[in-house]
Structure 1
Amino acid sequence: MEEAKFEETPLHKAAAAGNTEVALEILNLMPSLGRKLDGGGWSPLHLAIERGHRDTARLMARFDKMLVRVKGKGGMTPLMQCAARAGNEEHEERKLLARLLIICPESVTDVNNLNQTVVHVALVNRRCKTVSMLVDWLRRRNQITAVLSVKDVNGNTALHAAAQFGCPGGAEKIVKLVKLNRLNSDKKTALDLAKMYHQTAVREILEDKGAKESKDIEELTTTDYVLTEATLPEKISRDYYYLTAQLTLEMRNTILVVATLIVAATYQGVLQPPGGVYPAPDPGTETLARPSMGLGRRRLLQLGDDTWKKHVAGQMVMEKAKYRYFMPSNTFAFALSVVIVIFVVPGNPVFLILHVCLVFMCISYLLALDAISYYTGISDMIYYMSLYAIVGAYVVKLLYYPVKALLVDEDWWLRGLSVKFANRFSGSKGKFSDAVMKMKKQHTVLRLN
């Protein structure tokens, strides 16, 4: 049995008969039989699902979750077979499908020999309620792009299949999550297929969402792009790609540690500058108290006993000549370190509180700088240059995510922005649309293996 490529084993017999106890006992004694295909090209789990033995199938999958991903005839997995059987009135079949998804979540990304996902298979078999359940599962798992954007051997996505085989319920959910105007191998959009196969309900859903026909879409293929000349937008795309690709997690952690040390040291420098600050006057006196720091006090006594009385409380004791070098260096080191922290710390919502803390820390630093500094042109220059650098870093950080939405087609927390951009500018003509199209193609070329 181990050596034969196709063999009908006792496990096949037990699974096909729904004999759960015997099937589990055989799996326990020889787990490899669960992956063996019989002469028809089916595994024991395939047969249990095909014969309607749902308890046997569920317990076998729970015993070894990888059985859900075994590919049988045509590359069909047990999950796909279950989706093909789960009709609109077969609630128990859909319940089994849900249990298989829970047992083996990774199986939803498998494809068969036609490069069809489980959503394709459900659409081809016109299982609209099953499609709706699968789409909801993908949203809960954040695997929308990984499944709904997959093209079969004919270049059809799940939306193309919904338009071709007529599944209004599935199409209504899918159109909110994917790019509407992608072309298949025949250069047809989903709207073209809906009209071609007279799927009126799906066509109305697509038109209501702004879908277009292929004649209104101008798409630049990767081959055509390679034949064009390089432009500035492509350079921007390359810089963006290498900036994100080279910033590994280990490098990010190293940068954060060094930048944090510099921020802490420079922040301490503005709170306790060399030489100290002039203290507040003693209660009941009209004159200011003398400086508390020894070096500053000795320097002022050398200049004259009344020199210290001419300064404001809280101002630096350091001479202006030294201040011209110390404070710009300290402040620029602080500002640039904060800029690095802003760029390196992810902008995900979970890090929003950390970014807010950075903002308030910068405000407190600039206020402390304003309080202890001499009021000269240098003070104003330092203050405004630091402010502009930090604000500019946040502006660039905010622009980073729309750029990523334009270039990257993958599951992430702003994936919906990418879909909105694509649906808004798909087929439109102009310098902006052409630039975005070339940037995307440049990014595609850089990611080729």
Structure 2
Amino acid sequence: MDDQLRTVAQNGDIDALYRRVAEDPYILDRIDRLPIADAPLHRAARSGKPHFAMEVANLKPSLSSKLNHMGLSPLHLALLNNCSHMVRGLITINSKLIRVKGKGMITPLHYLAEIDDADVLAEFLFACPSSIEDTTVKFETAVHIAVKNRSIRALKVLLGWLNRVNKEDILNWKDEDGNTALHIAVSTNQPQVVKLLVKHVNVNVKNSNGMTAMDTFHLQATMQNLEIGKILSRARAKTASNLTSNMTLRDYLSRKLTLIDIRDKYLGIYSRNNRSDIRAMVLVVAILIVTATYQAGLNPPGGYWQDNYKPATTNNGSSSANNTNTGLGQDQRPHYAGQIIMKPFNLFYFFTLNSLAFYLSVWTILVVITGLPYSMNVFSFFHIMLR
């Protein structure tokens, strides 16, 4: 970037910017071709010139995600310099700027979790929901960073978001040492954070050293707040030695297929690409069955009698068929208009099977939409364990 453009960016002079571009139409293109550059957007962010930054981002959008020699994007710098207008302006132009990874693979979302800026953090999550999945070079999520820096307000926002978008499994992701956010909260003696996390995480996940959160608590002994031990005990946390199942992914893949494994294999449940298609197909079939069984309940086979019929009684006490009010023959049983024509024996089996199909289909629809409580695909489980 030449000295003239650098001065223009520092002063935030939009008119001067367009004059410079008119003199040299390719000046921004040449900056964009550099892999690392201190672009006009970086200068505007450091100088607190949001309007100028918006103009440059509009002229050359790709400059918005470029890193400078410090490994920072314009959005990183805007956050560091508390330029909230520029922050909101940039994510309005391109919300994916929230996922730009700077030095250490730290995104703007990670930075907000570190400084406990809960308000802007919430805006970022709504603007770019997938940003919650980004990890740093140390495999730390925004939750790890919030816990490490004791950012309670940011942590509450993150927990609320993960709960609402059904991504609570991210809370069980591990950093480079195999620690989950719960391990970190226990090791840093944060009872309030432990209380928040145990409601949403697997309390018996082991880190790279084979230790659970309860093992971490016992390891620190007298240095720990006893309230943490009580919270973990109420959440049924155990030490690694007391866990009943220690199956690894290797053990799972080495064993023979069970009936459930065979079912999942042929339903394509293990395939991440087909899982949503299968759910949609099951949902459609279940809805069709619900519709058919509901209509059958309202209109059973044979329908309803349209008239009243009562056999005439003879002098000797026997009955004879009376055809005066029906044209359906003499083999009818006594009935009233509106009664089901089907015989009671057949009616019992029909309504039993029809009701069973109806309720099972309704149950299937609810499971597909909301999921089974406490259920987890085994591959998802091992994915969480190995993160």
Counterpart in 1 of 2:217? 194
Q: Using the alignment, how far apart are the partners of 1:206 and 1:279 within structure 2?
A: 71
Give the Cα–Cα distance (whole angstroms) in 1 for the partners of residues 115 and 293 of structure 2.
Answer: 63
The DSSP-based 3-state class of the residue aligned with 1:2 is helix
1:149, distance to aligned residue in structure 2 (A) = 2.4
Q: Is the CA contact (8 Å cut-off) linking 1:68 and 1:77 kept in structure 2? A: yes
Deviation by residue 1:225-259 (Cα, 9 ceiling, x = unmatched): 333344xxx21243256447474535753675588
Q: Does 1:203 pair with 2:229?
A: yes
| Structure with more of its chain in helix, by fraction | 1
**Residues 1:417 and 2:374 aligned together:** yes
Q: Select 1:171's aligned residue among 194, 197, 212.
A: 194
SS of aligned partner of 1:179: coil
Aligned to 1:118: 142
Partner in structure 2 of residue 153 of structure 1: 176
Where does 1:73-84 land on structure 2 (aligned, <5 Å)? 73-84=103-114
Counterpart of 1:389, as a letter, is L
Contact 2:143 2:155 survives alignment (8 Å): yes
- Residue 270 of structure 1 corresponds to 301
* Contact in 2 for aligned 1:45/1:67 (Cα 8 Å): yes
**Aligned partners of 1:203, 1:131: CA distance in 2, in Å?**
21
Distance 1:118 1:442, change over 3 A: closer
- Whether contact under 8 Å (1:75, 1:112) holds in the other structure is yes
Residue 99 of structure 2, aligned match among 42, 63, 69: 69
What is the 5 A alignment of 1:296-311?
A: 296=328, 300=329, 307=330, 311=333
**Counterpart-to-counterpart distance in 1, 2:259 and 2:33:** 55
CA deviation digits over 1:15-38, x for unaligned, max 9? 122111211121111111110000
Amino acid aligned to 1:26? V
1:389 is aligned to 353
- 1:119-134 alignment, distance < 5 Å: 119-134=143-158
- Deviations for 1:360-402, whole angstroms, at most 9, x for unmatched residues? xxxxxxx95xx4244xxxx52x344434434555786699799
Between 1:67-76 and 1:243-252, the stretch displaced more is 243-252
Distance change (3 Å), C-alpha of 1:139 and 1:43: same
CA 1:182/1:412 → structure 2, altered by over 3 Å: closer, same or farther? farther
Distance in 1 between residues matched to 2:178 and 2:108, nearest whole Å: 24
8 Å CA contact retained: 1:187, 1:214 = yes
| Amino-acid identity (%) | 26
Contact in 1 for aligned 2:309/2:325 (Cα 8 Å): no
Task: Quote how far apart the aligned CAs of 1:64 are.
Answer: 1.9
Distance 1:213 1:254 in 2: 45
Contact kept? 1:281, 1:289, Cα under 8 Å: no
Which residue is 1:422 aligned to? none
1:226 aligned residue = 253
8 Å CA contact 1:122–1:130 kept in 2: the answer is yes
Higher RCO (Cα < 8 Å, 6 or more apart) = 1
Q: Which residue is 2:71 aligned to? A: 41
Change (3 A) 1:37 1:265: same
The amino acid across from 1:104 in the alignment is C
Structure 2 length-normalised TM:
0.72
Q: TM-score, normalised on structure 1?
A: 0.63
Amino acid at match of 1:313: H
For residue 386 of structure 1, what is the amino acid of its counterpart?
A: F
Equivalent-residue separation in structure 1 for 2:122 and 2:334 (angstroms): 73
Per-residue CA deviation, residues 51-96 of structure 1 (Å, 9 max, x unaligned), is 232332233222321111111111111010111122xxxxxx3322
Aligned residue number for residue 290 of structure 1: 324
Q: In the alignment, what sits opposite 1:312? A: 334
Q: Distance in 2 between matches of 1:442 and 1:195?
A: 29
Distance 1:440 1:258 in 2: 29
Matched position secondary structure for 1:270: coil
**What SS does structure 2 have at the residue aligned with 1:372?**
coil
CA 226–134 in structure 1, closer or farther in 2 if over 3 Å, else same:
closer
Give ranges in structure 2 of 5+ residues lacking alignment: 1-30, 270-276, 312-318
2:284 aligned to which of 246, 249, 253? 253
Corresponding letter in the other structure for 2:40: P
User: What is the rounded CA distance, in whole Å, between the counterparts of 1:216 and 1:208 in structure 2?
Assistant: 16
- How far apart in 2 are the matches of 1:258 and 1:166? 54
The verdict on how the C-alpha distance between 1:110 and 1:243 changes in structure 2, with shifts beyond 3 A counting, is same
RMSD: 3.9
Could you tell me which runs of 5 or more consecutive residues in structure 1 were left unpaired when the two chains were aligned. 87-92, 301-306, 316-366, 405-410, 420-438
- Structure 2 distance, partners of 1:122, 1:314, is 73
- Equivalent positions of 1:234-253 (< 5 A) are 234-240=258-264, 242-243=266-267, 245=269, 247=278, 249=280, 253=284
Q: Following the alignment from structure 2 to structure 1, what is the Cα–Cα distance between the partners of residues 40 and 334?
A: 94
SS at match of 2:370: coil
Is residue 34 of structure 2 the alignment partner of residue 8 of structure 1?
Answer: no
- State the 1:133 CA deviation: 2.7
SS in 2 for 1:14: helix
2:239 aligns with 213
Q: Distance in 2 between matches of 1:224 and 1:269?
A: 53
Distance 1:385 1:265, change over 3 A: closer
SS at match of 2:301: helix
Question: In the aligned structure 2, how far is the partner of 1:139 from the partner of 1:442?
Answer: 17
Q: CA deviation at 1:290?
A: 3.1
